[in-house]
Amino acid sequence: MAKDAIIIGGSTAGLLNGIMLKHHGYDVTVLEQFSGTRDGYDAGITIGPDVMSFLAKHDRVQCPFALTCTPPIKFNIHGKPRLEHKQTMVMTCWALLSKILRANFDGVTSNAVPVAPESRATDGTVEYRSGCRVLDVKDMGSRVEVHYEDAGSHVRTAISAGLVVVADGSNSSIRKLLAPDVERQYAGYICWRGTVSESSVENKGFNEKYSGKVAFHFMKGNYIIHYSTPTDDGDLDEEKRLYNWVWYMNLSDSSSDAEKLFTDVNGKQHQGTLPRGLVRPENWEKQKSLASSVLPVGLAEVVSKTTRPFLTKIYDVTSSRILFFDNKLYVVGDAAMSIRPNVGMSTQLAAYDCNMLERVVEGKITPSQWERAVLRYRYAQRRFGLTMAAYGLRSKFAAVWEGLKWLLLLLLQKVGIK
């Protein structure tokens, strides 16, 4: 029987699963809604153990792509650091990892990956179709039929496969069809994000303390994290790499401030992310002024020298079912369940989903065992994310309360109740 698969969404989760299935001999078609290349938005990501294990098995590019940052630190308004714990963190940027994954999937080259790896005789064939908006999925018995529309011509097409993986993000249109009761809910806070080259920071004392490190600064009801990452093109040299920063703060969705912040330079209102280059200058000047008054001097400089910041609202999505159509359709990544970005686990969770699906493909576990394992892991990480968000944005008491609920869930999972 022919092995074929359709991946809905060209996100990190989609590419991870596409590569894995390709390497297992599946003919894979990716349907990506966006035309061209996805914008990385200067987003930094943490490389967790499941990402590393996936790459060890499936990455044929084998180029340096991450920085190992020394133990996280906290610093006060005077810039005095304090070591938090001894765990190092491996950091990269979303765009660079995406370029590596695309090269592995269908041989797309870039400045980061000028030479793509060759396919092997055991690989399946692959195709990446951009500008394809999926409209519907239907269970056809032994196969799943996927209906989509071309973004340019608006021509509608239907294709089918024996396996479908849904990886179209937290605002998944397919999840809405399959599980209409699952709603994406605003979490009550936003984050400002941006990058600046390390070499452009004039406060050299700051560079000496914080280059190659992950650092936090906590304030009342908000906090900022910054760390070093490679560039989108894979430069890891200290003269070229970037400081990547994320500033979390509470914001009521119904407030006038929220409406003003998420209205772009063209007057368009955005519900999720306000992209780079579209932030209104007066809003950015106000944020830079706040940075100069509440952040240590070096970190305030990092923020103020950012030329293309962007804004994101944080949403929660929690689903209790991610397996459909008699084990032929799998929902993965943020489409399955979003995790608060405060813990930097999104890519790790996507890789976990993929590594577990590989065990299904290899016949080591059943689809229902995959669903149970993925949901258990995600519920635990979701609760951990709530704990970290409470610590930075609410209070220590709230963090302790959320932490107790997280530990209780882990205990119930250990004894098999959850």
CA–CA separation, 92 and 324 (whole Å): 34
Distance of CA 63 to the CA centre of its chain: 21
**311 contacts 274 by C-beta, under 8 angstroms:** yes
Residues 332-354: tens digit of each pLDDT: 999 999 888 887 888 999 999 99
Helix (H, G, I), strand (E, B) or coil at 371: helix
For 182-194, write each residue's pLDDT tens digit: 988 999 999 999 9
Q: Is the pLDDT of residue 39 over 70?
A: no
- Which tokens hold the place of 391? 């610590």
pLDDT at 417: 80
Q: Report residue 145's pLDDT band, with 50, 70 and 90 as the boundaries.
A: very high
Q: Model-level pTM?
A: 0.92
Confidence of residue 79 (pLDDT cuts 50, 70, 90): very low
- Which domains, ranges and CATH numbers included, belong to the chain? 4-39+117-183+317-397 (3.50.50.60), 61-96+186-316 (3.30.9.60)
Give first-to-last CA distance, the chain, whole Å. Answer: 37
pLDDT at 84: 52
pLDDT of residue 201: 86
| C-beta separation of 168 from 33 below 8 A | yes
What is the rounded average pLDDT for all residues in the chain? 89
- List the single range of 24-38, 61-75, 288-302 with lowest mean pLDDT: 61-75
**Residue 390, amino acid:** A
pLDDT at 67: 80
Cβ neighbour number for residue 390 with a 10 Å cutoff? 20
Per residue in 80-132, pLDDT (tens digit) is: 555 555 667 788 888 899 999 999 999 999 999 999 999 999 999 999 999 99
Which residue is it, tokens 């908000």? 222
Q: Which residue has the tokens 């810039």?
A: 79
- CA–CA gap between residue 106 and residue 99 (Å, rounded): 11
Following DSSP, what letter does each residue of 109-120 receive, concatenated? --SS-SSPPPP-
The yes-or-no verdict on residue 74 having pLDDT over 60 is no
**CA dist 169 to 13, 50, 176, 206, 209, Å?**
9, 19, 11, 37, 36
Mean pLDDT check: name the lowest of 69-83, 92-106, 388-402: 69-83
Q: What is the pLDDT of residue 96?
A: 92
Neighbours of 369 (CB within 10 A): 13
pLDDT at 266 over 60: yes
Contact in structure between 216 and 344 (CB atoms under 8 Å) = no
| Burial zone of 199 (CB within 10 Å; 0-12 exposed, 13-18 middle, 19+ buried) | middle
Q: Is the pLDDT of residue 400 over 70?
A: yes
Average pLDDT score over residue span 205-233: 86
147 contacts 158 by C-beta, under 8 angstroms:
yes
Q: What is the DSSP string of 247-302?
A: EEEE--TTSHHHHHHTB-TTS-B-SSEE-TT-S-HHHHHHHHHHHHHHS-HHHHHH
Do residues 16 and 97 touch, judged by C-beta distance below 8 A?
A: no
Please tell me the distance from the alpha carbon of residue 285 to that of residue 98, in angstroms, as a whole number: 32
